[in-house]
Structure 1
Amino acid sequence: MLLHGVTMTAELSWSRVLERLGRSFRVVAPDLRGHGDGIPLDGTRFRIEDSADDIAVLAKVLGIERFTAVGYSMGGMVAQLLWRRHPQLVSGLVLCATARNVQGSWLEKLTSIYLPAMTTALYLNPFTKGATAECLDGSLLGQIHDGSTRAWARAQLSRTSLPAAMSAVESAVEFTSHEWIAEVDVPTAVLIPTADQLVPPSRQHRLARAIPHAKVFELPGDHTIFLNDPACFGEVLVAATRSVTSQNSHCSAQRNNLIFEPDRSRSALR
């Protein structure tokens, strides 16, 4: 179950590794609430808890009894909460470029001052209804080396409204699993881009150390490695996922099928 990052879409986060993953695993990659084709927020506040519950509903609709939750950045936070709130569903975790929290980081300090007021203003101001997450690309994606990839990424970001994006960023900043993450009792891999500028690698290592027997997979790259070097990212992601699913023999029966259907996931969750 692939869970994308904040302001992104499943297509943006995962499309360049879907084929590779699909050779070994059954893959489901929905758009999260408020993002892309996900459930519209309709003026409500984005909450990571709601996204975790949405995925539990989606799994039920698709007849999936157990799955490995693979989350990137904010998606890693959703994955942690999936285990916390729906432990009967989660057979393993693959946590990529994420942390127990970002409290005390430059991102938290910045958003704690400006974000609540900006989010409220965006919802109340009718002239911002057409604004999208595209204007946040430099802040949340970092540098994208290839020009055509950069343009495509901006188009993907434009599928998420700016109010929804800002609310999701606020929720990610508020998230913390510090008090309970050590209770994780399923196989876990933590994938760490060593030059990550958004989620410092030191925070990612602390996450890994907090989870009993978690395996660490480092790879050279920043927070946008899934776009800048998808071949490397895909190779390490498959290895990390195999390290988790190899400890759950029942996962082998689900291999060699690929599902990528945001429209179905959206209608199923309404």
Structure 2
Amino acid sequence: MTVATAEPVLEAPGGPPIPLGRRVELPGRGTTFVREVAGPPGAPTVLLLHGLMASGGLNWFQAFEPLAAHYRVLAIDHRGHARGIRSWSRFRLADCADDAAALLDVLGIDQAIAVGYSMGGPIAQLLWHRHPEKVSGLVLCATSNRFVPGVRERLAFVTAMSAVAGSTRVGQLATRIPVAVWQNQIPPAVRARPDSLTRWAGAEVRRHDVRMVTEALVASSSFDSRKWLNPVDVPTTLVVTAKDRAVPAQEQLRLLLAIPHAQVHLHDEGHTWCAKPSFGRAVLDACLTVQGDAD
């Protein structure tokens, strides 16, 4: 039997005005966590897929309110992140995509616009690839079809990070990592805000499973969808961050080789743009573009 319960853990004081969310059991997969806004009656669904070291709340807190005026909004915590599924199996992006599909099934949702930010971009691509009947459109933000260019560089990076991941599987290093290290993973625009919001963001980050997040970094670095992403048969919008140092704009635009019909929304922002108020409206505009292309 599927179980969906209210989240019993209180948010840190002073957090942003976002939905508290609930735990949802995904049969045969585990218990995940989803923040949800009902939106207008009969509204289409937007499924928000967050980036590495973030959570559904931390990545999308600027987007809930703008999106909720037009859509039913779901933001899942991925495996190992915040209150997402915990598993001793190695982290796989494909499992995150399957979790997202299972969540739509449990909630009785036939299709959704999949919106992926950074690592959430590969998860959105895999959701379309593995469960195409569930994806009505794609919005790919600050992301690409690969993250580390060049085979030699990718092999070296994956080898190094795999060694780190292997060491953390045994020790579960979360208890040994100073709070200051976790705080450094919070987007600068959040760290610059009042201390109460900083505490909320820090609480989100400290819920991560260090081993699984490290493995997520390995999985992201080795991701390459170029062999199977073309042709994408749903409306797609690329939200490109022109000042991005984590995923350079030219890497983001590589997606046009696989999705030539995609519309491009170019923004003069960096990789942590998701913490700024302007981000929410940009995500809404991208979703409305996808919905308009589908109509």
Structures share fold, TM-score greater than 0.5: yes
Tell me if the contact between 2:232 and 2:258 (Cα under 8 Å) persists in the aligned partners. Answer: no
Q: Counterpart in 2 of 1:4?
A: 50
Give the 3 Å change call, closer, same or farther, for CA 225–109 of structure 1 in structure 2: farther
Match of residue 98, structure 1, among 139, 143, 159: 143
Q: Counterpart in 2 of 1:117?
A: 163
Is it true that 1:214 corresponds to 2:259 in the alignment? no
Give a deviation string over 1:70-111, Cα, whole Å, max 9, x none: 000010110000010001110100000000001337994773
**TM-score, normalised relative to structure 1:** 0.83
Which of 1 and 2 has higher RCO (CA within 8 Å, sep 6+)? 1
Q: 1:114 aligns to what SS in structure 2?
A: helix
Distance in structure 1 (CA, Å) of the matches to 2:274 and 2:148: 24
| Aligned ranges 1:41-120 → 2 under 5 Å | 41=87, 43-104=88-149, 108=154, 111-120=157-166
**TM-score, normalised relative to structure 2:** 0.76
Runs of 4+ aligned structure 1 residues displaced above 2 Å come to: 103-114, 129-138, 140-145, 147-155
Match of residue 237, structure 1, among 263, 283, 288: 283
Query: Larger strand proportion, structure 1 or 2?
Result: 2
Identity over the aligned pairs, expressed in percent? 36
Q: 1:27 aligns to what SS in structure 2?
A: strand
Q: 2:76 aligns to what SS in structure 1?
A: coil
Give the 3 Å change call, closer, same or farther, for CA 215–201 of structure 1 in structure 2: same
Q: Counterpart in 2 of 1:32?
A: 78
Q: 1:130 aligns to what SS in structure 2?
A: helix
Q: Counterpart in 2 of 1:19?
A: 65
- Write the letter of the residue equivalent to 1:222: G
Alignment RMSD? 2.3
Give a deviation string over 1:231-261, Cα, whole Å, max 9, x none: x211211111101012334xxxxxxxxxxxx
Which stretch of the first structure deviates more once superposed, 208-217 or 69-78?
208-217
Which stretch of the first structure deviates more once superposed, 188-197 or 157-166?
157-166
Distance in structure 2 (CA, Å) of the matches to 1:181 and 1:121: 33
Q: Counterpart in 2 of 1:162?
A: 210
